[in-house]
Structure 1
Amino acid sequence: MSVHKLEFPDRQDGIEKAEPLGFRPLYRQVKAIFVRRLVDGVWAPGEGLPSESQLAAEIGVSQGTVRKALDELAAENLVVRRQGRGTFVAEHDERRILFQFFKLVPDHGERRFPDSAVLSIATGTADAAERAALDLDEAASVIRIRRLRSLDSTPLIVETLSLPQQLFPGLETGPIPNNLYSLFAGRYGVTIAHARERLKAVALNPGDARALGVAAGLPALQVDRVALALDGMPVERRLSICLTEEAHYLSDLR
């Protein structure tokens, strides 16, 4: 395990560069060390972290500073606090994805994880939109996964995922699980930390309408999402076309 000591305020061993507008608080520097360990796989999904006192002694800061850094990671769903057991690296289980990343909720019923059916898998050179979203060069290849997502056997979403082929080699040849983010973390060491979404009202094109089993031209919600890894690198573009006649997009603002 890598060891960092913060013996002096101006020391930057193992810490990201200071933010432009002044020196970061000490707990933010400690948080950066912890995030780097997550990125490097020093702490794996589901693994228990050392105690706060152990981390404080190792890094050379107070236990309160460590606690504040871990509190921020918990607020960002990167670690999980379990009373009486300690702090654990968060896993991309269905419950976490459901509340952090899946926002379509039935108008009448509880929020739940959708079923998925893969419609096609292909590889090819990234187009302009994919290059812009994933920060790829013109020669980069992507894996495109098109799938149908349903709630209570009713198709509600048709989506196309674009993934850098270099980052996920071989993904196109194997079975595609419903929970892709767990696969990313377990097989490729890529943990999705957060995502950016753009929402837009659209009319269903004929291809999407056929996949959803409805008429072309019906109104739908388009969600254009870019998922980012722990280090801020864009790793997935997901374009989702959602039917909202019996469902709605729910976002908790805090």
Structure 2
Amino acid sequence: MADPADTEVNEEIGFKPLYAQVRERLMRRLVSGEWMPGMLLPSEIELARQLSVSQGTVRKALDSMTADNLVIRRQGRGTYVAEPEESRILFQFFRLTPDNGAASFPDSRVVSTGHAKPTHTEIENLRLAEGEQVFRIERIRMLSDQPILIETITLPASRFPDFDHLTIIPNNLYRLYSERWGITIGSAEERLKAIAASSRDAKRLGCNEGEALLLISRVAKDLEERPVELRWSRCISRDIHYAVNLR
């Protein structure tokens, strides 16, 4: 039987199922920084009391957030805000798997960093304002010490002030975004295309110039669906593949 509370309408949010309205209200707490990564959330009963809805409606909203890897339920301990270092979050955004082995997360080595004037593609994908600069990172990523891809990461400089002051750029950038600038990556759009290795990429990846590479372009977005990162990954595909589960 449907929860009677699900027929309620909150005019502030709009005409949506009540659990979706509750999800949006909970999401605001993530966006505002009221709920930080790793934080234990109030109980379903307490949230229901705060929001004046049924416990079942809160549970349905949290189920939706769990499915999107925004919160994590731990049996007997409660519901927590997902941390970017959690393996499930890492592999939500890293889909390359060795042909003959289990999935593992790659190490990285930074090649170069610096501010730059954005290209037209960067302006379009990151929705940059006129005159806004970007910060670019180029790094090589490795599995078992073997280079598998080289990636160029572009960030809006206005959203990541003092990035160039970092003495060490960690492997897990999404955790860095969250902890230092309060920016949580909630979703990403990717496109895949086959390209030939340039002489520059071939030298850094240890492959032949002209060898087939997989180009993955990604626009990562925050919890408010604003683009915050443009990433181009050129991947050697001879021993790895791109894996995704369709449900």
Amino acid across the alignment from 2:193:
K
One-letter code aligned to 2:111? L
Change (3 A) 1:123 1:223: same
Hey, what does 2:176 align to over in structure 1? 183
Structure 1 position 166 matched with structure 2 position 165: no
What is the CA–CA distance in structure 1 between the aligned matches of 2:35 and 2:183, rounded to whole Å?
A: 12
Deviations 1:9-57 (A, max 9, x none): 44434x3xx3xxxx21000000000111100001000000000000001
Q: Is the 8 A contact 1:94 1:113 kept in 2?
A: no
Q: TM-score, structure 2 length as denominator? A: 0.95
Q: Is the 8 A contact 2:69 2:89 kept in 1?
A: no
CA distance in 2: counterparts of 1:94 and 1:243, whole angstroms: 26
Alignment-derived partner of residue 95 in structure 1: 87
SS of equivalent to 1:101: coil
User: Cα distance, 1:190 vs. partner?
Assistant: 0.2
Superposition pairs of residues 120-159 of structure 1, within 5 angstroms: 120-159=112-151
TM-score, length of structure 1 as denominator length: 0.92
CA contact (8 A) 1:224 1:237 kept: yes
Name the SS for the 2:47 alignment partner: helix
What is aligned with 1:51? 43
Question: Distance in 2 between the 1:169 and 1:237 partners?
Answer: 17
Residue 104 (str. 1) matches residue 86 (str. 2): no
- Is the counterpart of residue 40 in structure 1 residue 32 in structure 2? yes
Q: How far does the alpha carbon of each residue in 1:120-166 deviate from its partner, in whole angstroms, 9 at most, with x for none?
A: 00111111010111011231111000000000111000000000111
Post-superposition Cα deviations, 1:88-114, rounded to whole Å, max 9, x if no partner, equal: 000001513432011110011110110
Equivalent-residue separation in structure 2 for 1:236 and 1:85 (angstroms): 34
Within-5 A mapping of 1:201-240: 201-240=194-233
Find the aligned partners of 2:86 and 2:239 in 1 and give their Cα distance.
22
Percent identity reads 49
CA contact (8 A) 1:159 1:240 kept: yes
Equivalents in 1 of 2:9, 2:66: separation in Å? 27
Q: How many residues are paired up?
A: 241
- Give 1:246's aligned residue: 239
Q: Which residue of 2 aligns with 1:63?
A: 55
Distance between the aligned counterparts of 1:188 and 1:98, measured in 2? Answer: 19
Corresponding residue SS for 1:100: coil
Does residue 193 of the first structure (1) align with residue 168 of the second (2)? no
Specify the SS of the correspondent of 1:198: strand
RMSD: 1.3
